[in-house]
Amino acid sequence: MSESRTIKVEALTRVEGEGGLHVTLDGDVIRDVKLSIYEPPRFFEAFLQGRPLTDVPDITARICGICPVAYQMSSVHALEQALGIRITPEIRRMRRLLYCGEWIESHALHMHLLHAPDFFGVHSGIELASRFPDEVSRGLRLKKHGNELLEALGGRAIHPINVAVGGFYRAPRREELQRLIPDFEWGLDAAITATRWVATLDFPDFTRDYEMVALSHPDEYPMNEGQIASTAGLQIDVADFEREIEEQHVAHSTALQAFRTHTTDDGNTGDATCYHVGPLARIALNFDRLSESARRTADEVGFDASVRNPFQAIIARGLEVIHAYEEALDILRDYRPFRPARIEYTDQAGEGCAATEAPRGLIYHRYAVADDGTVTAATIVPPTSQNQRQIEEDLRDWLPRILDNDEDRIADDCERLIRSYDPCISCSTHFLKLTIDRRPQ
Amino acid sequence: MSTPVQQTLPDVRPRPTLAVFKFASCDGCQLSLLDCEDELLSIAGLIDIRYFLEASSHFEPGPYDVALVEGSITTPHDAERIREIRRQSGYLVTIGACATAGGIQSLKNWADHQDFLRTVYARPEYISTLATSTPIADHVPVDFELRGCPINRHQLVDVITALVAGRQPRTPSHSVCLDCKRRGTVCVEVAQGIPCLGPVTQAGCGAICPAYDRGCYGCFGPAAQPNCDSLADQFLKTGTGSRQLVPLLRNFNAAAPAFRDAGNRVAADSMQGNEA
């Protein structure tokens, strides 16, 4: 007979957000795994109603201080669809440049300060810096470049002020962007070196059979445009997102959980299943559209579209940082100030939706606006609510491999797995209480 | 912001202990500490970071010499938690608009809370929240407040280094207008007729919005002695309607008293058809 025991860990750390993990065991049989999220709700979808649509990119940025650009990009594209606005190729390119800044900043932060410490048994990036001063300093410098790009184009790094429905409030002056080029030339090489470094980490042997979901675009690595594709053969327009994905409200979470509905043409739904979004999914579906240096580095470190080990997402983030540097450099070198900075439009009633790729994965927004430009409805599906059920499923598979360890080690190993998703439970506090109830057999 | 901060002189030892706490917020203000890429490793040498969940999986129980508090109070549990944190903290600094004024989520103070719950959640009975979002100073005494949505990381470094040196931290309380003049930015209100909260908003952001051809939207909250009524009247006279003005006053510092009162007055006048 197994002994009954309960394991409690007070905090999941080095993630953005507040949640808890509750595992119920009968002996060594896992009865239940609940990743509970109890960050205080902030009701964005409610108070967007009645606001002028021009406020939406500023307000939705405040959902997340780590990936505000993802919220801004998704909301402006959705609103432009509602209003029938067609942006110019110049504006489109500058939005990709802005997203490059956020990917670099967010990925460099996660790789060096949040995730890498797990592989060396240290508690923080600051502690890691005493053992790997060159690697951590390089990571901080990469992160700084991302922020400097956001500042030059967006006005500031956290909650940029230059993003508008229709484009930008002001096109950057040529020298504002050109002065970034020397740093970005250094950064491209540094990102390759950093990716080589994370590829040498000691990864647990843990491969999953995910349905990977990401945007997919025929000509470019996806950021702001494309169809929604999956490794199980899904290929739909963004407008069909809500037909294929449903959000459910479960008792243990203030975040809604998203599922694939498997809706058939006659409108029937099959069994809901979970899916995986994020850098591993993007690479799985768009590997050949990564930049040349990113593909070359992937070949060199033995990484390709078939990787399904969640712990190796750190390598995928490295490859995306290389891609973002290379694409940003192309845009920076050719940059000329453009007019108009913003497409003029007249308010009209309509509805629009858009999906973009946040650093943590697919993000979906839908808005309805009235003829006076007031928002009448808003729906936002962030990446972490899509990954939440997948993380629970991963933990069910992961726990049997680690149950022989002591409680502290089990808890640490659960945290490591959750952290590999870079969950942005965020937008709120940071507690993951892990409780394991062991029922006697 | 509604309760005057204590502005007490810090009484901290060399290499003071530091804790970072979070309530309802976006994480952006505590991220500002990690965004001090050039200073982060030196700061970590000056202070003993004992509790910072976003950055470290090692944490120690209080008491702490200095606490940085991000976020507003929106749940019964958090109203209790901030009291315990106050008891554990020698010098408590609120960081950002959520902690100092209630944040964007204070918009629910104007709405039917139950309506909000039903809009977002299919099963509202699972959710436990208060009807309001309130700043930290409404619940416990605050020693220093750092404004902004988000805060300015240079101001954060200044506060930390002042505390380490045993100095009273200081941040400027003049308006954004002064910083536009220093930056050489042509006034967007005067030259382009764009409504701008710069005259009544505290400096600290670097006056970035007018430099990008848009009006200030008040991220740093009311400046010292703001004349919001006069500014609102001027906007109404020059063609900015209440439909534009009320949301401008009611955003990231909506519940800061000076912005709250001005927004309420413009909204009430417009309901009564008194709009100029």
Q: So what's the pLDDT on residue A216?
A: 97
CA-nearest residue of chain B to A127?
B56
For residue B218, being part of any structural domain is answered with: yes
Among candidate residues B232, B226, B189, B229, the one with its CA nearest the CA of residue B210? B189
Bridge partners for A216 per DSSP:
A227
Q: So what's the pLDDT on residue A434?
A: 44
- Assign residue B55 the CATH number of its domain: 3.40.50.700
**Peptide bond preceding B63: is omega within 30 degrees of 0, i.e. cis?**
yes
Residues of chain A with pLDDT below 50 are 1, 9, 427-434, 441
For residue B1, being part of any structural domain is answered with: no
Q: What is the pLDDT of residues A17-67, one digit of tens each?
A: 666 787 877 878 888 888 877 677 778 888 899 999 999 999 999 999 999
Chain A partners within 8 Å of B60 (Cβ): none
Chain B partners within 8 Å of A113 (Cβ): 34, 55
**B59 and B183, same domain (yes or no):** no
**B132 and B183, same domain (yes or no):** no
Chain A partners within 8 Å of B53 (Cβ): 11-14, 430-431
For residue B10, being part of any structural domain is answered with: no
Query: B residues 95-134 near A, CB within 8 Å?
Result: 103-105, 107-108, 111, 115-117, 119-123, 126-127, 129
Q: Which residue has the higher pLDDT, B184 or B116?
A: B184
How far is the C-alpha of B131 from the C-alpha of A250, rounded, in Å? 22
Confidence bin at B199 (pLDDT 50/70/90): very high
Q: So what's the pLDDT on residue A439?
A: 57
**B50 and B148, same domain (yes or no):** yes
For residue B210, being part of any structural domain is answered with: yes
Domain boundary at B140, B164, B188, which?
A: B164
How far is the C-alpha of A111 from the C-alpha of A104, rounded, in Å? 10
ipTM of predicted assembly, 2 dp:
0.93
**B158 and B245, same domain (yes or no):** no
Chain A partners within 8 Å of B121 (Cβ): 41, 249, 256
How far is the C-alpha of B204 from the C-alpha of B162, rounded, in Å? 17
**B70 and B190, same domain (yes or no):** no
How much of chain B exceeds pLDDT 90, in percent? 74
Contact A304, A298 (CB under 8 A): yes
CA distance B19 to chain A (A): 13
**B149 and B181, same domain (yes or no):** no
How far is the C-alpha of A398 from the C-alpha of A415, rounded, in Å? 11
When CB atoms are compared, the residue of B37, B105, B208 closest to A156 is: B208
E strand or H helix that includes residue A436 = strand A432-439
Q: Do B74 and A41 touch (CB under 8 A)?
A: yes
**B34 and B153, same domain (yes or no):** yes
**B160 and B183, same domain (yes or no):** no
Chain B partners within 8 Å of A51 (Cβ): 247
pTM: 0.93
Q: What is the mean pLDDT of residues B223-250?
A: 94
Contact B47, B160 (CB under 8 A): yes
Q: So what's the pLDDT on residue A31?
A: 82
**B117 and B235, same domain (yes or no):** no
Q: Do B28 and A127 touch (CB under 8 A)?
A: no
Structural domain total, chain B:
2
Q: What is the pLDDT of residues B130-172, one digit of tens each?
A: 888 999 999 999 999 999 999 999 999 999 999 998 888 999 9
Mean pLDDT of chain B: 90
**B25 and B156, same domain (yes or no):** yes
**B113 and B81, same domain (yes or no):** yes
Q: So what's the pLDDT on residue B51?
A: 94
Q: So what's the pLDDT on residue B3?
A: 47
B31 in contact with A at a CB cutoff of 8 Å?
Answer: yes
For residue B8, being part of any structural domain is answered with: no
Q: Which residue has the higher pLDDT, A410 or B113?
A: A410
Contact B30, B70 (CB under 8 A): yes
For residue B169, being part of any structural domain is answered with: no
Domain boundary at B164, B196, B223, which?
A: B164
For residue B40, being part of any structural domain is answered with: yes
- A59: tokens are 């307000």
Q: So what's the pLDDT on residue A431?
A: 29
Q: So what's the pLDDT on residue A75?
A: 97
Q: So what's the pLDDT on residue B124?
A: 65
Give the domain extent around B23. Answer: 17-164
**B28 and B152, same domain (yes or no):** yes
Q: Which residue has the higher pLDDT, A45 or B206?
A: B206
Among candidate residues B251, B49, B193, B1, the one with its CA nearest the CA of residue A48? B251
Q: What is the pLDDT of residues B35-64, one digit of tens each?
A: 998 898 889 889 999 999 889 888 899 999
